[in-house]
Amino acid sequence: MRQESASLTRHLRVRRDRGHTVLEFLGEIDIASAAEIAPHLDRETARPGARVVLDLGGIEFFDCSGLRLLYRARRRVLDEGGEVHLVCAHPLTLRMLRITGLARLLPPRPTLAEVFGVTPPQERRTGR
């Protein structure tokens, strides 16, 4: 079940979907926005057994401050026995994840549906 999202900052929106906490990063994720996001990220990733999705679908810019946030979230969730997933399809961000090795630790998926194992409905075939 999907719940309404709450914007905690102009760079982070949090919602619940299919038993997961989805953290949607928005806009430019740089040193200033990372400082704004970090306390909210820490709160959402501190729960024992948390099931967290880090969704980068709404980003316009992402630097090393954003990478630190991802690594921090991953470490905190796993330390508490939870699971963490990453959604990212942005080519430059994917390249940064690969170059830094973070893609091995936190393999990116292109869509939220893929994280949840949901396949889009097949188009109906007509008899033509």
Instruction: Decide if pLDDT at 125 tops 90.
Output: no
Cα dihedral 4, 27, 9, 106 in deg (nearest 10): 80
Helix axes 64-79, 91-100, angle to 10 degrees: 60
Rg (CA), the chain: 15
Q: Which pLDDT tens digit goes with each residue over 45-75?
A: 999 999 999 999 999 999 999 999 999 999 9
What is the pLDDT at residue 118?
Answer: 82
